[in-house]
Structure 1
Amino acid sequence: MAGNGERWPDRAEWAGKIYSAGWRASEGGTRQVIEPASGHVLAEVGVASPADVAQAGVRAARAAGDWAAAFPSDRAEILLRASSALREHRDTFRDWIVRESAGVPAKGDYEIIAALAQLTHAVGLVSLPRGEVLAAQAPGGTSLAWRVPLGVVGVINPWNAPLLFAMRALAPALALGNAVLLKPDPLTPVSGGVLVARLFEDAGLPDGVLHVLPGGAETGQAVAADPHVAMVSFTGSTEAGRAVARVAGEGLKRVSLELGGKNSLVVLEDADVAAAALAGAVSTFGYQGQACVAAGRHLVHADLVEAYTDALVGHARSMRVGDPRVEGVTVGPVISARQADRVERIVDASVAGGARVLTGGRRDGLFYPPTVLDHIDRAMPVFTEEIFGPVAPVLSFHSEAEAVEIANDTAYGLTAAVHSGSVPRATAVAGQLRTGMVHINDVSAKDAANAPFGGMGISGNGSRIGGTASLEEFTQWRWMTAPGPV
């Protein structure tokens, strides 16, 4: 990233290294960070080997006790300082998010705002009631139950929202007294790892409490298997989540899985077509559709489907595809050739099966334009598979019952949106959808620091992060009795 005026963080300090009780060379060597839009090399980071992870686990376990014993107000103060540092260096964060993850600057701004919200909410966790006074089993006795930190938490993050997803688990885990091994995705190790480590360095987090260990699947498996790690928080694909769960399960660890989705945006016949189509465009085409909460199906009442599809096609054609750093570009490249191949395969196979392309549908390297398809059969991959690209399949229905049946025809169950002129009616339909989240007259892609985020089915294992759910995830109960008062 030479020539962009970068002053913070000092590249000489972190280039080619991992963060584990300070910046140090890794046994796993180094890896280049490539900008998807240009193919340019942005940086070189260290790759954590299993041996590096093992050493970090030992260091984290040593530091965890003192961190858990720190005054809650002291932990909160460090989170507040990290928040101040993020505000101070937000331009650097935005630049790295844009260049590493290929999102437009607005996507970078959203991640920063959302990460700040996660830090702020985590500060509030330290003051929540931690326990209960239970009915004693004998006269004059004491029975207490309270929450204690887990110890060391492993956080394994994806590339599509590297800063936000790091903070979503890291901030509450630290606030509640845990040490953390953070493994950022190898495609976004700077915005999801290096910069996060520097934030907490600046904030005064004690050495050994946070370790940043970039790497691929081997590094992630080492984090999940490490005997010092009591809990693994994983965000990513369902396939990778299953692999993490298998490894962690051998150690009987707690596992929080936030996985994929095949999310429906349902438009009833009394909906505002223009508003619904705009929400549909944002839900599918925003950040090239590379979000677990993106709308992967547009289910529209037969009376409105033509008007809705026309409006959706209009939005798709109005979006400019290109380098996200160029003013006016709203759709950047997908993250990698592997992901571009996936989108192309799903669309081409569906078209071969009879789907019709109304706009888009032709790849140019990593650039895949906003695409709208109709004539969808429910056996097509565009209906059954998570696309993770800017592709909107449109299907019609004739009744609420049919809409619910189509929306629930998936093993996923992450999120959904329902549009109607009647909020009570939309709420009734939403209540029949098998999803962990649902939004009325809005986009499918929403996130809030105070909300329990997660899905059903193969979209997760029923765990939630956010709000008071984080208290459940990152602590465990301890019970104590005494024959008299304590």
Structure 2
Amino acid sequence: MPVDGERTWPDAAEWTGKIYSEGWRTAEGGTSPVIEPATGEPLARVGMASPADVERAGARAARAAPEWAAAAASERVDVLMRAGHALRERSGVVRAWIVRESGGVPAKGDYEITAGLDQLQHAIGLASQPLGEVLAPRVPGGTSLAWRVPLGVVGVITPWNAPLLFAMRALAPALALGNAALLKPDPLTPVSGGVLVAELFREAGLPEGVLHVLPGDAATGRAVAADRHVAMVSFTGSTAVGREVARIAGEGLKRVSLELGGKNSIVVLEDADVEAAATAGAMSSFGYQGQACVAAGRHLVHADVVEAYTEALVRQARALPVGDPRVEGMALGPVISERQAARIERIVGESVAAGARALTGGSREGLFYPPTVLDRVDRSMPAFHEEIFGPVAPVIPFRGEDEAVEIANDTAYGLTAAVHSRSVPRATALAQRLRTGMVHINDVSAKDAANAPFGGMGVSGNASRIGGTASLEQFTQWRWMTAPGRL
């Protein structure tokens, strides 16, 4: 069935049941339905790429990559600029697909569009960055040069929770710097994370063969990671799957960029603005149903203000309506799938059985899980250790800063955190003791920016970063050349 706002773009008759590889073509892996989580209704049917489809796409991308790399930077910039223009022009349709396919409210769709545009705009700037250095030659009168060259073909494997944004976050810099790409969107969101991306770049005039969009399951992802033409894999998703991607890619000695999960803390000191901290906490734990790697999975609150903070957090949670995201005024939509809903239910249920208390929420209706605040949470409980990926806020009191740091760092993850205090120097000093790749003062834990090196420590990644000038490192490699005289 057509998604709200869809007219003639994208032309469903052209892409239904197909993959994008030099135009829309029949997939050897068959087809799969796209189901709306809020209603259970089928929205579309997409092609599922088989390993053979991936192999053909990889070979074609490898043939297209040298010509794209040799194109003038201005030509690549023009393509990205036109893609951004197309995204603005098609924003209504894109938003509607994100809402219905991922279960996010319209504001979530707007965020992805705005952030996707930011990624395109920043990548445009990357294309004009200095790409090399003139080195001091060892031989008098000689030449020694080093410069960055594209990797060739980049494999991009994206999750369902921010499908458009995560596609653009890797594709925009990769393409701007002269690489071809294989994009494997998640089978739960293959339209907003794949079909629309293909159509935007096709409309922008990206040469055929440079981008291939290959929806599929785990077998498709393994094929992308293993393909002999793929020089680098950019993966965003769970730590468990990230380990498998790294293992497969490692067999081919490929570069791997892993952006994985998190068990992120908001630390609230006794001198914090409690209402402001609770607002940031609610946004961090409940935004997009908590289905984000940067969501707050722990609220560490000083014992002197924990009661006031918890009351404020509960009040805000109860004020957030849950329902069909297309209905005006809804704050939370459904979680993405029955599997995800059951996971949230298990973690909360086991934690409550072990002594935690659900002050609000704590049970679901179908895929609709209300904002849930847990107190009396201790370290023996799943709500303390596991990444919930749902709208659940476990509150844990502490007495001093050392204890807060120790609790926050009691996890194998290390993605992001936030610290709240009326004293910015004090919050900053504590933030520097947290073992996370990102940290925010008097703000939410869930932040992103196209010009920032996004990534985590521990099992939240493999120390890679994407965004800002870090993307230059990720999507190019060095070449060194010498000559006995001046060039």
Shift of 1:4: 3.2
Q: Which residue of 1 aligns with 2:4?
A: 4
CA contact (8 A) 2:5 2:92 kept: no
- Give the whole-Å Cα distance in 2 for the aligned partners of 1:245 and 1:5: 40
- 1:464 is matched with 465
Separation of aligned partners in 1, 2:398 and 2:379: 13
User: Which letter maps to 2:390?
Assistant: G
SS in 1 for 2:324: coil
What is the letter of the counterpart of residue 429 of structure 1? L
CA distance in 1, matches of 2:200, 2:93: 12
Residue 298 of structure 2 corresponds to residue 297 of structure 1: yes
Question: Where does residue 20 of structure 1 map in the other structure?
Answer: 21
Q: Which amino acid aligns with 1:143?
A: S
Query: What is the 5 A alignment of 1:215-364?
Result: 215-364=216-365
Q: How many angstroms apart in 1 are the aligned matches of 2:223 and 2:448?
A: 29
Once residues 5 and 408 of structure 1 are traced to their aligned partners in structure 2, the CA distance between those partners, rounded to angstroms, is: 46
1:296 to 1:351, Cα distance in 2 relative to 1, 3 A: same
> C-alpha separation between the residues in 2 aligned to 1:3 and 1:284?
29
* Aligned equivalent of 1:424: 425
1:3 offset after TM fit, Å? 6.9
* 1:351 aligned counterpart, secondary structure: helix
Query: C-alpha deviations, 1:209-238, integer Å up to 9, x for none?
Result: 000000010000000000000000000000
Give, in whole Å, the separation in 2 of the partners of 1:228 and 1:256.
17
Quote the residue 2:106 is aligned against: 105
> How far 1:77 moved relative to its partner?
0.4
Runs of 4+ residues deviating >3 angstroms? none
SS in 1 for 2:323: coil
Q: Distance in 2 between matches of 1:289 and 1:77?
A: 37
1:340–1:3 CA distance, 2 compared to 1 (3 A): closer
- Stretches of structure 1 that go unaligned for 5 or more consecutive residues are none
- TM-score, normalized by length of structure 1? 1.00
Which residue of 2 is the match for residue 415 of structure 1? Answer: 416
Secondary structure of the residue aligned to 1:81 is helix
Q: How far apart are the structure 1 equivalents of 2:466 and 2:74?
A: 22
Aligned counterparts, 1:176-187, within 5 A: 176-187=177-188
AA at the equivalent of 1:21: E
| One-letter amino acid of the counterpart of residue 449, structure 1 | A
Secondary structure at 1:392's aligned position in 2?
strand
Distance in 1 (alpha carbons) for counterparts of 2:344 and 2:77: 43
CA positional deviation for 1:465: 0.3
**Alignment of 1:452 onto 2:484:** no
What TM-score comes out, normalization by structure 2 length? 0.99
Q: Secondary structure at the match of 2:233?
A: strand
Name the structure 2 match of 1:147: 148
The 2-side partners of 1:381 and 1:4 are apart by: 39
Number of aligned residue pairs: give it.
Answer: 486
Residue deviations 1:255-306 (CA, integer Å, cap 9, x gap): 0000000000000000000000000000000000000000000000000000
Task: Look up the equivalent residue of 1:4 and give its one-letter code.
Answer: D
Cα deviation code 1:171-207 (max 9, x no counterpart): 0000000000000000000000000000000000000
Deviations 1:4-32 (A, max 9, x none): 35121111110100000111001000000
For residue 45 of structure 1, what is the aligned residue in structure 2? 46
2-structure distance, mates of 1:246, 1:458 = 14
Tell me if structure 1 keeps the 8 A contact 2:3–2:96: no
Pairwise CA distance, 1:379: 1.3
RMSD between aligned alpha carbons?
Answer: 0.6
- 1:311-342 C-alpha deviation (Å, 9 max, x unpaired): 00000100101000001110111000000010
Partner of 1:230, secondary structure, is strand
Find the residue that maps to 1:109 and give its secondary structure: helix
2:230 aligns to what SS in structure 1?
A: coil
**2:484 corresponds to 1:483:** yes
Percent pairwise identity: 79
- 2:2 and 2:210 map into 1 onto residues whose CA distance is 31
Q: State the distance in 2 between where 1:200 and 1:443 align.
A: 33
Are residue 73 (structure 1) and residue 74 (structure 2) matched?
Answer: yes
